[in-house]
Amino acid sequence: MAADDLRAQPALSRVTPERMADAIRVLSMDAVHRARSGHQGMPMGMADVATVLWTKFLKYDASDPAWPDRDRFVLSAGHGSMLIYALLHLTGFKAVTMEQIKDFRQWGSNTAGHPEYGHTPGVETTTGPLGQGLATAVGMAMAERHLAARFGDIVDHRTWVIAGDGCLMEGISHEAISIAGRLKLNRLTVLFDDNNTTIDGVATIAETGDQVARFKAAGWAVKAVDGHDHGRIAAALRWATRQDRPTMIACKTKISKGAGPKEGDPHSHGYTLFDEQIAAARHAMGWADAPFELPEPVLNAWRKAGRKGARARKAWQAQLKRSAGAADFTRAMKGGLPADAFRSLDAHIEKLVENAPNNATRVHSGAALEALTVAIPEMVGGSADLTGSNNTYTTGMVPFDAPGYGGRYVHYGVREFGMAAAMNGMALHGGVIPYSGTFLAFADYSRAAIRLGALMGARVIHVMTHDSIGLGEDGPTHQPVEQVASLRAMPNLLVFRPADAIETAECWKLALKSDKAPSVMALSRQKTPPVRTSGGDLCAKGAYELAPAVGEAQATIFASGTEVAIAMAARETLHAQGVGTRVVSTPCWSLFEAQDERYRKSVIGKSPARVAVEAGVKFGWERFIGEDGGFVGMSSFGASAPYERLYKEFGITAENVVAAVKARLKPS
């Protein structure tokens, strides 16, 4: 069944749509009341919109939550999580049983306080930090358009978003709607829960802007409807499917619709209804069933809605089998890499061993990408208006843009946060491996999206160049000193800071193999000499002995990135002075922490003097040097000057590393 035919289905039963919406309301009230925690206001207010969407327009099959050509539904207003849990339970998603609804927000349940990707089948993305669901959905819509250009008719679905006042107040919403409007993502529809409510009260105490006009100005098609009139909602959704631009429908709703005296009360946003208020709400709705019990006709109508996509799914599966691109599509959607994904990269590494180039690691990254993007067609790159600095564009790439969408390079503009969130959406959609670039100092702009990507285990690669005071004259506003340390503190994020061309290539391979965690590539602007003389994927263990001591090891110097060369220079001086010194390169701390204890101890060693050197703050280096180890690095912000002068003035030199080692050696 074609998508348009599916969306044109008539009413599913004699049970009224309004009664079906009431089932969402009572489940939301009951679950929040039992948990003594949560938000029933938004689910009750948007129950009518969600009912029309899920029974008449959304393409899905409850028996197969991972069907690749399903529509994507994103609850950007994630605090109203009971809306999606109620929908999943009512339509028959097996994972969300009534027992799970009863255990809302409890230990061990899959009905967490905010929807979590990977935790609950049917939840497409983790939401809760407002605005990010909308921005992530933009990435999903981008992935759909790109894959449709690549694979043809086997990719034909839409992305639907429910967003609230808070989502549209967050700055990321401006970035997201601007990107979507520029790219004319006509398979994307945002349903705005226009209830004029936030936690503090009516939204107008903080926001009086015209959201409809804002979307229209960004290039969207817009419409406003009564969010409780099922007929008008259906007409608006049908209108959305015919537009040549992304669409926003402002659904005028009452928060806690159906909650009797609490209906429309701004304070019911996160307010848990009392027993007598729930009783009054049930009476107002004419709902006589006990808590967590549903009338059989209503449940049957919902279950029928959950099964209606089975025919379309089976037809699609038959179509996929006939498609010439079936094998590549299936592999890409499952996250697998081509069989020869790294053949060109390995050949590139062999040449690096022979040639030992001296250049910035951002340049080495660009060279690695030249080998990778040809071999891995799923890679879609981009930059936040810093293409020439980030080296993320490779030969032959063309822009991702309307109307064809076959291009693999995205011009995100100066929108770091929106870019990072959109890449999360691409990765979650499947079939695309997104990477893009900005300066490392601006990781703080995109940090919240990086964090959600880590929480979800999304394979996203953030290329972040100009990684230290080594960028020089742009000064402390652009010189990251704390960003590497702060990113390393984030769970399930691989932070790579490679030392030279070989390490950079190896780190790219590791980032692409990491299909359960995002990666950051921290890369230098300034040139750095080669330190590796062989291949061997040594970066795979996160840290390794780059250079052994001559004789007994009296000192170990730990370093990452451009400072590995400084460590090697210090080692030469120390050896000349009779001090046996090892150098350990630490390109990825997370991978090192994942190694067994025996390996970690062997790398750290037993040298009496341990010193770390990095053009950043000390935080975290204790894992290598202990509490008494030496550190040569930054304890302040940087300054504006040529990088050679900066390293000298801030004391990040081989001479200071030598001095730090000697200060920790016992007198002979």
What would the DSSP string read from start to end of 263-282? TT-GGGSSPPPPHHHHHHHH
Contacts of 376 (CB under 8 A, 6+ apart): 337, 338, 341, 433, 512
Task: Answer whether 458's CB lies under 8 Å from 427's CB.
Answer: yes
The yes-or-no verdict on residue 471 having pLDDT over 80 is: yes
Chain length of the chain: 668
Task: Answer whether 400's CB lies under 8 Å from 407's CB.
Answer: yes
The percent of residues above 70 in pLDDT, for the chain, comes to: 98
Render pLDDT for 300-325 as a digit per residue (tens, 0 to 9): 999 999 999 999 999 999 999 999 99
Render pLDDT for 383-420 as a digit per residue (tens, 0 to 9): 999 999 999 999 999 999 999 999 999 999 999 999 99
The yes-or-no verdict on residue 668 having pLDDT over 70 is: no
Render pLDDT for 393-402 as a digit per residue (tens, 0 to 9): 999 999 999 9
Angle, helices 310-322/326-333, rounded to nearest 10 degrees? 120
d(CA 537, CA 518): 19
The yes-or-no verdict on residue 567 having pLDDT over 70 is: yes
d(CA 610, CA 161): 53
Q: What is the pLDDT of residue 433?
A: 98
Least confident of 178-182, 185-189, 263-267, 350-354: 263-267
| Nearest alpha-carbon partner for 65 in 104, 117, 27 | 117
Query: Could you tell me how far CA 64 lies from the centroid of its own chain?
Result: 24
How far apart, in Å, are the Cα atoms of 25 and each of 20, 45, 101?
A: 9, 8, 13
Task: Answer whether 512's CB lies under 8 Å from 613's CB.
Answer: no
Residue 343, number of CB atoms within 10 A of its CB: 12
Contacts of 276 (CB under 8 A, 6+ apart): none
Cβ-count burial 209-220 (b if 16+ within 10 Å, e if not): eebbebbeebbb
d(CA 284, CA 287): 8
525: tokens are: 């602007």
140: tokens are: 């999903």
d(CA 503, CA 498): 5
Per the listing, tokens 């703080």 go with: 444
507: tokens are: 């780190």
Query: Cis omega (within 30 of 0) on the bond before 403?
Result: yes
**CATH 3.40.50.970 domain position(s) in the chain:** 3-315, 343-522
| Nearest alpha-carbon partner for 138 in 400, 418, 415, 414 | 418
d(CA 587, CA 567): 14
Mean pLDDT value across the chain: 96
If pLDDT is split at 50, 70 and 90, which confidence band does 1 have? very low
Render pLDDT for 123-154 as a digit per residue (tens, 0 to 9): 999 999 999 999 999 999 999 999 999 999 99
> What is 3-315's CATH topology?
Rossmann fold (3.40.50)
Torsion angles phi and psi, residue 423, rounded to 5: -65, -35
Q: Which residue has the higher pLDDT, 5 or 323?
A: 323
Catalytic residue, from 116, 416, 503, 563: name it: 416
d(CA 84, CA 663): 61
Q: Strands, DSSP E only, in 67-187? A: 72-75, 159-164
Helix (H, G, I), strand (E, B) or coil at 502: helix
d(CA 27, CA 214): 34
Task: Answer whether 304's CB lies under 8 Å from 13's CB.
Answer: yes
Residue 667, number of CB atoms within 10 A of its CB: 3
Residue spans of alpha helices (H) in 326-464: 326-333, 343-355, 361-375, 387-390, 416-429, 443-456
The yes-or-no verdict on residue 188 having pLDDT over 70 is: yes
Q: What is the pLDDT of residue 399?
A: 98
Q: What is the pLDDT of residue 266?
A: 84
| Nearest alpha-carbon partner for 75 in 196, 205, 166, 169 | 166
> What is 538-663's CATH topology?
Rossmann fold (3.40.50)
The yes-or-no verdict on residue 2 having pLDDT over 60 is: no
Q: What is the pLDDT of residue 3?
A: 44
Q: What is the pLDDT of residue 260?
A: 83
Confirm whether 614 is a catalytic residue: no
Render pLDDT for 61-75 as a digit per residue (tens, 0 to 9): 999 999 999 999 999
Q: Strands, DSSP E only, in 153-200? A: 159-164, 188-194, 197-198
463: tokens are: 């290329």
**Do β-strands 201-202 and 197-198 pair in parallel, antiparallel, or remain unpaired?**
antiparallel
**CATH 3.40.50.920 domain position(s) in the chain:** 538-663
Q: What is the pLDDT of residue 7?
A: 42
Q: What is the pLDDT of residue 271?
A: 72
- The residues that bridge with 409 in the sheet, in sequence order, are 381, 399
H/E stretch holding 625: helix 622-625
Q: What is the pLDDT of residue 215?
A: 98
Rg of the chain over CA atoms, in angstroms?
Answer: 28
The yes-or-no verdict on residue 12 having pLDDT over 50 is: no
H/E stretch holding 300: helix 296-307
CATH of domain 343-522: 3.40.50.970
Q: What is the DSSP string of 89-113?
A: HHHT-TTS-HHHHHTTT-TT-S--S
The yes-or-no verdict on residue 510 having pLDDT over 80 is: yes
Task: Answer whether 114's CB lies under 8 Å from 128's CB.
Answer: yes
pTM higher than the cut 0.85: yes
Helix (H, G, I), strand (E, B) or coil at 381: strand
| Nearest alpha-carbon partner for 149 in 347, 319, 401 | 401
